[in-house]
Each structure stands twice: as C-alpha cells, then as structure tokens.
Amino acid sequence: MRRNRTGSGDRRYRTDFQLEPKEKQALKLAEIREVLVTAGYNTTAKQAAVLGVGRSTAWWLLNHDRGYGPSPKVIKRILSSPNIPPAVRRKVEEYIQERISGLYGHSEQRTQWFSEQFQLRQHNHHEHLDPA
C-alpha cells in the first residue's frame, strides 16, 4: 500500500508558508550560504575568512542540519567583518529581523532576549559615538 506523498509528513511537497519554523530557519541559513557561493566564496575557508569566524563555526553555521541558529555573538562577529559582501550582510540582517519577529519558532522569552542583544548593541554603539 502506498502512502499519500502530499500528506503533512512529507516535507518535500510543502510550500514555504507550510514549512515548520525550524525548516524556515534552515532555509534562511542556506540562502546565506548560497549568496556566499555566488559571490565566489565556495569553500569553508573562504567563507570563514569573509565572515570573520573560524572555519568550524562557518561550516556549522552554513552546513549543519540544526534545530537552532547562530548565537547573537556569532552574528555580531559576522556583521562586524570588514569583508562581508553587501548581499550577505542583507541576508544576515533579514535573518535577525525574521528571528526577532518570531518566524523561527523560538519561545517568546528567547525571542525577546535575542532582540535585546541587538538593541543593546545599537544603544551602546550610539552612546559610544555621542560625545556628550
């Protein structure tokens, strides 16, 4: 007897709006990897160098099948890399906004904590620049 392949258990046939939150997160991280590859960063060593992280971190971030995403510390490190291509920066910023909006299924408490990590960074950055 054949199983119905369009059932909710077969993820290959789902459309984007039907994806589980963690699947959406994995897809966003795959988009970041694809932008890197398109820009010519096609090895883990090249990706790590441009992202400003170690090779194992770059590999884990871009290739590991995960149920959770990068920490704010890793994301901040990537965003502070002077070599990050603009298209990659945009994808990382999209990831941040989508995670803050709750798209990836984190608890309200974890989402709030994640959001605060970036608000504090912006607030401290502005304080540092303000001579008063």
> Any idea how long the chain is?
132
Please say if the pLDDT value at position 117 is more than 80.
yes
> Which residue, 113, 35, 108, 116, is CA-closest to 78?
35
pLDDT digits (tens, 9 = 90+) for 57-110: 999 998 876 667 899 999 999 999 999 999 999 999 999 999 999 888 888 999
Give the DSSP letter string of 96-127. Answer: HHHHHTTTT---HHHHHHHHHHHHHHHHHHHH
pLDDT digits (tens, 9 = 90+) for 10-45: 444 445 557 788 888 888 999 999 999 999 999 999
In this prediction, residue 19 carries a pLDDT of 77
What is the rounded distance in angstroms from the CA atom of residue 93 to the CA atom of residue 77? 13
Q: What are phi and psi of 7, to 5 degrees?
A: -65, 165
